[in-house]
């Protein structure tokens, strides 16, 4: 006896693309990077390159921090003045699931976002709004509270500040495991200062090392032929952004990217993927990954470093992976976690300064 299965709808992920020159006055590249603060992996791909040729020693910060804190500590006047207004602070709760647990984030713009369960929201007593992505049908299960800590009216003695201070001190007193990174405006100040501040008021805080990995991938012997000025498939003789996006996914998953005629039967059993046409033969791919809480400053530093070295290799790719359980994706827009957590973008850099920006959005995310 067979039972018919209902039709299932796959999440409708989307790609948003931009083609421009890195020095163009209307380029959105740097804004795009700064508006996407919560990322856990940074990947670099350079075709036809070996490790010793890449010259890509990781030049960013090798540290981030984890602490167990209460939200009340984030709205202290001393904390706002010393760290939020005098540097780039990225803070995100960790080891929590956004669909059924409380999640918080503090962006470099000073926006504190609380993604709360119904019980926590009612207990808190600060006005918010229902989440746009409800998990339980028939009842509202998640709520969003957003506070701009940099507003002039948010300071001791003002009504909004005193209300928030009382709510966090008396009603919502739970502890959150958070990770954070801070880049001070004054280079003479150490980023560890935030960790020491938390320790000084009684919280536990520790340094964490990012995980670095670099490898040559000799099994990748073909790559798409790209024309920096033709991102779509309208032009013959070059692959388009979809072909490249698929190829990047295959390389990231360490799939053997070969021509079908050169694949063995066991290779076809594991994967039938072949490099799209037209393609070229290469001597492998160099891949570097950095995993942890990646700061915006480090992403921009890597981008500038690749700009200096990309002419020797034709083109290279920088891919940034965002946290699935972050309450926001781009800017202050709520992250559409409901169907999937797609939260990723790739920057394809060409030797003439042209770039492609390919952003992968979840089915419920607003376009950046």
Q: Which two tokens stand for residue 11?
A: 């999440």
pLDDT at residue 62 greater than cutoff 80: no
- Same structural domain, 143 and 27: no
Pick from 179, 209, 239: which residue ends a domain? 209
**Domain carrying residue 263:** 14-61+212-361
- Same structural domain, 177 and 85: yes
Q: Which uninterrupted H or E stretch holds 22?
A: none
Handedness of CA 180, 181, 185, 191 (dihedral sign): positive
- Four-point Cα dihedral 251, 319, 339, 7, nearest 10: -30
Residue 366: inside a domain, yes or no? no
Q: What local confidence, expressed as pLDDT, does residue 41 receive? A: 93
Residue 328: inside a domain, yes or no? yes
Give the span between the Cα atoms of 193 and 214, in whole angstroms: 30
- Same structural domain, 250 and 320: yes
Q: How many domains does the chain have?
A: 2
- Same structural domain, 221 and 146: no
Residue 28: inside a domain, yes or no? yes
- C-beta atoms surrounding 157 within 10 Å: 6
Summarised one tens digit per residue, pLDDT across range 100-144 is: 889 999 999 999 999 999 999 999 989 998 887 765 666 678 899
Give the span between the Cα atoms of 45 and 286, in whole angstroms: 6
What number is the average pLDDT over the span 247-255? 83
Pick from 209, 237, 270: which residue ends a domain? 209
Sequence-ordered list of residues with C-beta below 8 angstroms from that of 70, at least 6 positions apart, any chain = 168, 173, 174, 175, 176
Whether the ω angle into residue 74 lies within 30 degrees of 0, i.e. cis, is no
- Same structural domain, 183 and 169: yes
Pick from 184, 209, 234: which residue ends a domain? 209
The radius of gyration computed from the CA coordinates of the chain, to the nearest angstrom, equals: 23
pLDDT averaged over every residue in the chain: 83
Q: Which uninterrupted H or E stretch holds 44?
A: strand 39-47
- Same structural domain, 95 and 48: no
Residue 82: inside a domain, yes or no? yes
- Same structural domain, 164 and 259: no
- Same structural domain, 38 and 118: no
- Same structural domain, 225 and 94: no
pLDDT at residue 188 greater than cutoff 80: yes
Give the span between the Cα atoms of 183 and 187, in whole angstroms: 8
pTM for the structure as a whole: 0.87
The percentage of the chain sitting over the pLDDT mark of 70, rounded to a whole number, equals 81
Local confidence band at 222 (pLDDT 50, 70, 90 cut-offs): confident
- Same structural domain, 76 and 123: yes
- Same structural domain, 51 and 98: no
What number is the average pLDDT over the span 195-202? 94
Q: What local confidence, expressed as pLDDT, does residue 5 receive? A: 44
What number is the average pLDDT over the span 291-302? 92
- Same structural domain, 239 and 357: yes
């Amino acid at each position: 006896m067979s039972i018919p299965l209902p039709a299932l709808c796959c999440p409708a992920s989307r790609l948003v693309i931009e083609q421009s020159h890195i020095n163009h006055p209307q380029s959105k590249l740097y804004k795009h990077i700064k508006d996407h603060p919560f990322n856990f992996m940074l990947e670099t791909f350079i075709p036809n390159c070996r490790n010793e040729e890449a010259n890509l020693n990781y030049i960013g910060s090798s540290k981030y921090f984890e602490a167990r804190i209460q939200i009340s500590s984030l709205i202290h006047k001393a904390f706002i003045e010393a760290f939020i207004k005098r540097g780039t602070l990225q803070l995100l709760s960790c080891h929590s699931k956004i669909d059924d647990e409380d999640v918080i984030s503090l962006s470099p713009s000073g926006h504190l976002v609380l993604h709360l369960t119904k019980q926590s929201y009612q207990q808190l007593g600060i006005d918010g709004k229902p989440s746009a992505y409800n998990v339980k049908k028939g009842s509202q299960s998640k709520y969003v509270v957003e506070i701009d800590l940099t507003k002039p009216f948010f300071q001791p003695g003002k009504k909004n500040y005193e209300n928030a201070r009382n709510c966090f001190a008396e009603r919502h007193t739970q502890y959150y495991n958070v990770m954070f990174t801070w880049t001070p405006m004054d280079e003479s100040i150490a980023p560890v200062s935030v960790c020491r501040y938390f320790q000084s008021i009684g919280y536990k805080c520790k340094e964490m090392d990012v995980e670095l990995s670099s490898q040559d991938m000799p099994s990748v012997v073909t790559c798409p032929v790209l024309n920096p000025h033709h991102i779509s498939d309208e032009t013959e003789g070059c692959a388009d952004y979809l072909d490249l996006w698929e190829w990047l996914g295959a390389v990231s998953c360490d799939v053997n990217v070969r021509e079908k005629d050169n694949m063995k039967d066991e290779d076809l059993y594991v994967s039938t993927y072949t490099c799209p046409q037209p393609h070229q033969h290469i001597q492998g791919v160099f891949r570097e990954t950095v995993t942890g809480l990646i700061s915006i400053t480090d992403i921009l530093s890597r981008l500038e470093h690749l700009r200096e070295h990309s002419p020797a290799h034709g083109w290279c790719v920088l891919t940034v992976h965002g946290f699935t359980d972050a309450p926001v994706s781009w800017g202050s827009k709520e992250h559409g976690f409901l169907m999937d957590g797609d939260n990723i973008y790739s920057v394809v850099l060409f030797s003439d300064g042209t770039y492609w920006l390919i952003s992968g959005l979840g089915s419920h995310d607003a376009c950046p």
